[in-house]
C-alpha cells in the first residue's frame, strides 16, 4: 500500500535536510576537543585514558546514524555516541524523529560464538539493573533486536536540543555524550 504525503514532510523538508551536515560538524568539533583535552572531560574511574592502544575516536556517518565511534577497530566492542536518523539498521520501532544514542556494539563472528555473546549480554544486563541510567534521563534497551547491539541508551534529540543557538546546541550535545559514556564506563565494567 502507498502512504500519502504528510504535510510535515513538505513543511520541514529543507530544515531536516540540513540536520546530517550540522550533526557531522558538531561531532567533529567534539572529537577535536576531546583529543586536545586528552579526554579529561571523561571523569569515569575507567576513563578513556585507561583504554588500550587501539583506542581512537572518529566521526562516522553510516548505517543511518551520525556520531562518534570510540575505537579504531570494532573488535570485540565499540562504543558509539551520536544520533540515529533512521531505525532500519537498528531495528528500532516507531522511530518518528532522530534520537540521541549511546550504543555498545559487539562484533559477532566465527571466533565469537553464541555462548560468548549471551554471556556478554547477561553480564551487561546484570550491571544495568543496579545502575542509574534512567535517573539521568536515558531510556535503556538491553535486548535490542540486532545481534550486534548489547546496549542502547537513548533520548529523543528534540528533548535535548532546546535552543536555536548552535554553540549552545553543540555544548548540550557534548555534555550528553560525556554523561552517557561515563555512565557506561562506570556501570558496564
Q: What is the pLDDT of residue 116?
A: 64
Residue 72 neighbours by CB distance under 10 Å: 14
Confidence of residue 50 (pLDDT cuts 50, 70, 90): very low
> What is the 8-class DSSP label of residue 85?
S
Going by C-alpha positions, the residue among 108, 98, 182 that lies closest to residue 149 is 108
Q: What is the pLDDT of residue 100?
A: 92
Model pLDDT for residues 171-186, shown as the tens digit of each residue: 999 999 988 888 877 7
Q: Which of 66-80, 81-95, 107-121, 168-182 has the lowest mean pLDDT?
A: 107-121
Model pLDDT for residues 143-170, shown as the tens digit of each residue: 666 667 777 888 999 999 989 999 999 9
Three state DSSP letters for 133-188:
CHHHCCEEECCCCCCCEEEEEEEEHHHHCCCCCHHHHHHHHHHHHHHHHHHHHHHC
**What gap in Å lies between CA 51 and CA 123, rounded to an integer?**
19
> What is the 8-class DSSP label of residue 131?
S
Are the C-beta atoms of 170 and 26 separated by less than 8 Å?
A: yes
Domain boundaries, the chain: 14-187
Global pTM value: 0.78
**What gap in Å lies between CA 103 and CA 152, rounded to an integer?**
5
Q: What residues are paired with 71 via a beta bridge?
A: 55
**What gap in Å lies between CA 173 and CA 30, rounded to an integer?**
9
Amino acid at each position: 500500500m502507498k502512504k500519502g504525503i504528510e504535510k510535515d514532510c513538505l513543511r520541514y523538508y529543507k530544515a531536516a535536510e540540513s540536520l546530517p551536515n550540522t550533526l557531522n560538524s558538531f561531532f567533529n568539533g567534539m572529537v577535536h576537543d576531546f583529543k586536545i583535552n586528552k579526554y579529561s572531560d571523561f571523569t569515569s574511574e575507567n576513563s578513556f585514558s585507561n583504554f588500550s592502544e587501539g583506542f581512537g575516536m572518529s566521526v562516522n556517518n553510516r548505517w543511518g546514524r551520525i556520531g562518534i565511534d570510540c575505537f579504531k577497530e570494532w573488535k570485540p566492542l565499540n562504543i558509539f555516541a551520536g544520533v540515529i536518523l533512521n531505525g532500519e539498521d537498528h531495528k528500532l520501532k516507531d522511530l518518528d524523529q532522530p534520537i540521541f544514542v549511546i550504543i555498545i556494539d559487539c562484533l559477532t563472528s566465527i571466533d565469537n560464538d553464541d555462548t560468548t555473546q549471551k554471556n556478554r549480554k547477561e553480564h551487561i544486563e546484570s550491571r544495568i539493573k543496579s545502575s542509574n541510567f534512567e535517573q539521568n534521563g536515558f531510556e535503556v534497551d538491553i535486548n535490542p533486536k540486532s545481534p550486534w547491539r548489547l546496549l542502547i541508551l537513548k533520548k529523543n534529540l528534540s528533548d535535548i536540543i532546546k535552543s536555536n543557538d548552535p554553540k549552545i546546541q553543540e555544548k548540550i550535545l557534548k555534555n550528553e555524550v560525556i554523561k552517557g559514556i561515563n555512565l557506561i564506563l562506570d556501570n558496564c565494567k
